[in-house]
Structure 1
Amino acid sequence: MNNQLFKIIWHTVTVLGIVATILFFIYGIQTELFYSEQALEDFLNQFGIWAPLFFVFFQFIQVVFPIVPGGIGCLGGILIFGPVMGLIYNYIGICLGSIVAFLIAKKYGDGVLTLLFKPKLRKRYRRWVGDKRFDMFFTFMIFFPLSPDDFLCYLAGTTKMSLTKFTIIILIGKPLPIAVYSFGLEIIFRYIVSFF
């Protein structure tokens, strides 16, 4: 019963998170937030020095509690903070979130995967857990931009992989997929916005 209630709450929060994200992007287009330096500066000035910290925390949270698709946060970082700082803030938040997700799974095991992820996704990757090549598989998947990174970080926590090895893989492997997501989605977004 508790698991069922948790899943209902989880799905509700996921839908609300996606709706909130869509509304923010509509707001950003209407206020020229994403293509006017002055509008962007005015928006960030509301938060002062806290703006980067809020964003890093958002990226951290969306990894630990994968409610909003990660690509949306990556795009937001680039649009709000520019290509360099946006990429850096994305990297910091996502790496911290990945490490915490790994530690949560280390402590609580498979139960966390059952609560947070769909059975189909768990079944697809479950066979790798007992495989001695898991570390190599995990490294490859972290470098691959289209892999389910959040899930894989939790999955790695259920294996014998050490925190040190996991952290090294994440710190080295994350820049490429984050850059691909960030800049790829920015190109698509700007192309779509050009029609409005």
Structure 2
Amino acid sequence: MELHGFLASITLKDLLEIFDKYKSMGPLLGIGLPLLESFLPFLPLVLFVVANVNSFGLLLGFLFSWIGACAGSILVFLIVRKYGQKRLFAFLRKHKSIQKMLSWFEHHGFGPIFLLLCFPFTPSAAVNVVAGLSKISGLNFILASLLGKLVMVFIVSYAGQDLQSLVRNPGKLLVVLAVLAVMWIVGKIVEKRMKAKRLESEE
């Protein structure tokens, strides 16, 4: 069986058995798997988060998943930002859809990246790569990634094994929406302050 097919067939039960078998590794596995997903987007990030929560508890499971997911996103962004002008990425810039996303990110900065990374099934690898190719500042991307991933990992962790419970349970849905709204407001405030400081330094 190919690696892609093998990984795609992994169930929550399989992951929990792996986590139990390698308990001696502590948080390395819980952080490492979400980090690896940033480089191999076919990996089941949602499943990793749920396995973390079931293995380490809500608080630690959430924390390990968030650290891994954020570290992976930032690493991909930095690698693409450094080598984005090389031939390896040249073909990406030619696609109209990529050009539209580049323009969108560069004109709106924090907002679209934050929103895209908030949702569990957004292809975050594509967001990280396009952001790296764009002219958006590294600080803006890191801020959007930290807050967006925080919301996404919180949603998956809070919902547990049953993501549909967000729809069936109005209380859970309200909590998630409240967190999303707070993170959005905080992000926009920080972004405005960063822009103001940058303008002051340029004067």
Normalising by structure 1, we get a TM-score of 0.67
Cα distance in structure 2, aligned partners of 1:68 and 1:188: 18
Contact kept, 8 Å, 1:101 with 1:154, in 2: the verdict is: yes
Rounded Cα–Cα distance in structure 2 between residues aligned with 1:79 and 1:93: 17
**Secondary structure of 1:160's partner?**
coil
Picking from 83, 88, 108, the partner of 1:108 is 83
Structure 1 unaligned spans of 5+:
1-11, 34-39, 116-121, 191-196
From 115, 123, 130, the equivalent of 1:155 is: 130
CA contact (8 A) 1:98 1:170 kept: yes
Deviation at 1:27, TM superposition (A): 7.5
Evaluate the alpha carbon distance shift between residue 159 and residue 27 of structure 1 in structure 2; reply closer, same or farther with a 3 A threshold. closer
Query: Could you tell me how far 1:125 is from its partner in structure 2?
Result: 5.4
- Higher-RCO chain (CA-CA 8 Å, sequence separation at least 6): 1
Secondary structure at the aligned position of 2:135 is classed as coil
Task: Give the Cα separation in 2 of the matches to 1:18 and 1:145.
Answer: 17
Contact 2:30 2:61 in 1 (8 A): no
Distance (whole Å) between structure 2 residues aligned to residue 189 and residue 145 of structure 1: 13
Matched, 1:18 2:8: yes
AA aligned to 1:186 is Q
RMSD: 3.2
SS across alignment from 1:133:
helix
Write the deviation string for residues 24-68 of structure 1: whole angstroms up to 9, x where unpaired: 62575xxxx6xxxxxx8xx26x532x2211221111111122231
User: Residues 140-187 of structure 1: CA distance to partner in whole angstroms, max 9, x if unpaired?
Assistant: 222344422222112100101122221111122221111112332523
Amino acid at match of 1:16: F
Aligned equivalent of 1:118: none
Q: 1:87: how far off? A: 0.1
Q: Report the equivalent of 1:97.
A: 72
- State the aligned residue count: 158
1:172 aligned onto 2:160: no
> In the TM superposition, what are the counterparts of 1:30-179 in structure 2 within 5 Å?
43=20, 46-48=22-24, 50-109=25-84, 111=88, 124=97, 126-131=99-104, 132-135=106-109, 136-179=111-154
Q: CA deviation at 1:108?
A: 3.1
Percent of aligned positions that are identical: 21
